[in-house]
Amino acid sequence: MMFDYHIHPNYSCDAEGSIDDFCQAAIAKGVREIAFTTHLDTDYKAEDCVVRVKEEMIDTHSGVWLEDYENTIRTAAERYLDDDLVVLLGAELDIYPGVIEKLPKGFTDVEWDLIIGSVHLIDHQAISLKEDAEEIFSKHSVEELGETYFSIVLDTIETSMINILGHLDLYRRFGEDFYGPQIHELWKPHTDELANRMKKFNVGFEVNTSSWRKGQHEPLPSINFIKALVERGVDTITVGSDAHSPNDVGADIDRALALLGNCCGIKPSRFRGGTKL
C-alpha cells in the first residue's frame, strides 16, 4: 500500500495547496494514507516561527492556529473515508536545544497521530539553506558538526515528544560541497548510541524522498545509514515525500519502498498514534 507520511499543506509558509488539494492529489496518485506534517518552528532567532491560517500569518507559539489545523484535518479525514483515503494529523517539529519549553500553548492537548522531529537549525541558522549552511560549516570541523547535530537528536529523543526522526542526514544537502566525501561518514561514530536511544524510546525514522527531487543520488538518510540502523534493531521506518505542493504527493515513494525491500528486506511501517501497525 502506498502511504506518504511527510506532507506540508499551506499552513506551512513555504508550501502551497490546501488540505483538500493534497487529499485529492493523493487519491489521484493511488496514495492510500497520508499524514499532514506542517512545519512547527518555534525558534524566534530563526525568524520563521509563523503558520498561515486563511492567508493570515500567526505566531506559532500562540497556539491559536492549532484548533483550526486540527479541525480542518479531522474534518478531511471523515470526508475522504468514502474515497478509501486515511488522513492523519501530524506536525514536523523543528528540534533544537530548549525546544520543548517553547512549544505552542495547547500542543500537548492535541491528539497527534504522528510527530516528526527534524534538525533544521544549528546555532539558529538553517542547515537546509545554502548560505546559512556554508556559514555553519565554516565554524565546525566535520567531527564537531556531527557532535552538535547528533547531540540535538539524542537529547530530543529522550523527551518522548517525537515518533519519527525526519531526514536524518539533511546536512548532506550542502555538506558534500564543503567537506567532501567525509560528510557521508559523519553519522558513523553516533550510530550505536542513536539506535539504542531510538529503541529505548520507541522512536523510528523516515526515508525522505525529497533529496531525489533535488538531484541527489540517495534518499535521506543514505542507504548505508539505513542499513546500519536496521542492523542495530531499529525496525520502525516510514516513508515521506516532504511534499510542499500537491504535485509532489507520493513522489518517489514507490522507489523508496523498493529500495528498502532490496537493501534491507523490510517493509516500512504504517503509523497510528505513535504505534507501529
- State pLDDT tens for residues 92-117: 999 999 999 999 999 999 999 999 99
- State pLDDT tens for residues 185-237: 999 999 999 999 999 999 999 999 999 999 999 999 999 999 999 999 998 99
| Confidence at residue 266, expressed as pLDDT on a 0 to 100 scale | 77
With beta carbons less than 8 A apart as the criterion, state whether 47 and 132 touch: no
Beta strands in 97-224 (DSSP E): 114-118, 121-122, 125-126, 164-165, 204-208
Q: Which of 15-29, 53-67, 80-94, 142-156 has the lowest mean pLDDT?
A: 53-67
* Domain span at 232: 3-276
Hey, what's the torsion of the CAs at 277, 209, 123, 44, to 10 degrees?
-70
The CATH number of the domain holding residue 106 is 3.20.20.140
Q: Is the pLDDT of residue 123 over 50?
A: yes
User: Taken in order 47, 72, 19, 35, is the CA torsion positive or negative?
Assistant: positive
pTM value surpassing 0.75: yes
Q: How confident is the model at residue 277 (pLDDT cuts 50, 70, 90)?
A: very low
Task: Give the number of domains in the chain.
Answer: 1
Residue with cell 518517489: 252
Q: Is the pLDDT of residue 273 over 50?
A: no
C-alpha cell at 158: 529522550
